[in-house]
Amino acid sequence: MVSKKVKPFCFLFGLMTILTVFAGCKAGYVMHAALGQIRLLSSAVPVDDALAGNTLGASQKERLALVSRIKKFGEEQLGLKKTSNYETIYLGSDQPPVFTLAAAPKDKLILVTWWFPVVGRMPYLGFFDLPKAEREKQKLLDKDLDVVIGRADAFSTLGWFRDPITLNLIDGSEVDLVEIILHEMTHTTLYVKGQGAFNEGLAQIVGKRGALQFFEKTLGPSHPLTLKAMDVVEDERLFSAFLISLFRKLDHLYASSLSIKDKVAKREEIFTACLKDFEILKMRLKTKRFVHFGRAPLNNAYLMAFGLYHRYFPLFEALLDRHGGSIPEMLLFFRNLSKEKSDLLAAAAGRIGEP
């Protein structure tokens, strides 16, 4: 089953075909990723041409025209790196471009990782083709791992190539569009090799709080889109707290002396209780961001895929608030911290006194 959720996908595609022979990567997978990336790049058209043509509807053109303003705001107000990304658009499909695959042991809250040149260890794989993802999933299931396949609304090549806008982004809401663009711009600005949870957690806070700042400054604090962006942040806080509580229960179980068989049996009880708790939480949520949670069977890979993006939101928000809500100052803090510390999540937690 494919789990559909807002989950930007960040991976370095084309360069890997050059480095595969030296890195010992799976040549077939890397070639698939590279060809998918090349297809998007070669088929993309300039944004100005798309705006002048008849392919897009009026509402799509309005959101596409918004992209340049989002980029400018991110660069000038948030301190994000200026690139040539999002100056083209891929019109070939309105579906999210990438399927993501994550795996985890049945008795541990850790994600399996894959090593690649430049980006280091990645906690997921990306596929442009669902059957290829399904075949890789079966190989991992045969190793008795938990596995989940999701869909990514966006991806980044970390500035190595000119990433295009995809149709699914301009078919969504303005708030989603601003958040995702700022999220991906964050990856291009500061990406720490091999630290997936840090990279995604940082991009989450910049995307969500940055989107709120964008609407506050461009439309005013009382505009409906500003209020919607505020609701997104509030829902993120609620869901993150819910997820953290669930992880604590599972960590306690997995650290026990029970056998793996008994742990797997006991975790099903926790999963059942979790879904009941989520039904209560849904009544407090103001947006539909997390409406798909729990529609696919719960397992460690499924939960950790969510955790990669949402587990550390309170940590990053606390650090942002410590810097007066200034995203540029927070980015500078992390850039300097990355020169001193190897585990940035642990170092960041230490700065605010978390265990």
> What pTM, to 2 d.p., does this model score?
0.88
The pLDDT of residue 25 is 45
The pLDDT of residue 120 is 75
The pLDDT of residue 354 is 63
| Residues ≥6 apart with Cβ < 8 Å to 208 | 179, 229, 232, 233, 236
Residue 328, helix vs strand vs coil: helix
The pLDDT of residue 94 is 60
Q: Please choose, from the candidates 243, 24, 260, 30, the residue with its C-alpha nearest in 3D space to the C-alpha of residue 126.
A: 30
Q: Which residue type, as a one-letter code, is found at position 32?
A: H
Whether residue 239 contacts residue 310, with contact meaning beta carbons closer than 8 Å, is answered with yes
The pLDDT of residue 126 is 81
> Which residues constitute the domain of residue 182?
2-351
Q: How far is residue 211's CA from residue 225's CA, in Å, rounded to a whole number?
A: 10
DSSP string, 115-177: EETTTEEESSEEESSHHHHHHHHHHHHTTT-EEEEEEES-EE-TTSS-PPEEHHHHHS-HHHH
Per-residue pLDDT of the chain (355 residues; tens, 9 = 90+): 444 443 433 443 433 333 333 334 454 555 555 556 666 666 788 999 999 999 999 999 999 999 999 999 999 999 999 999 999 998 876 655 678 899 999 999 999 998 877 677 888 888 878 888 899 999 999 999 999 998 877 766 666 667 888 888 899 899 999 999 999 999 999 999 889 899 999 999 999 999 999 999 999 999 999 999 999 999 999 999 999 999 999 999 999 999 999 999 999 999 999 999 999 999 999 999 998 899 989 999 999 999 999 999 999 999 999 999 999 999 999 999 998 888 999 999 988 876 5
Q: How far is residue 120's CA from residue 342's CA, in Å, rounded to a whole number?
A: 13
Provide the domain count of the chain: 1
Q: What angle do CA 180, 284, 220 make, to 5 degrees?
A: 50
Q: How far is residue 193's CA from residue 283's CA, in Å, rounded to a whole number?
A: 39
The pLDDT of residue 40 is 67
Q: Label residues 276-311 b or e (16+ Cβ within 10 Å = b).
A: eebeebeeebebebbeebbebebbbbbbbbbbbbbb
Rg of the Cα trace of the chain? 20
Residue 112, helix vs strand vs coil: coil
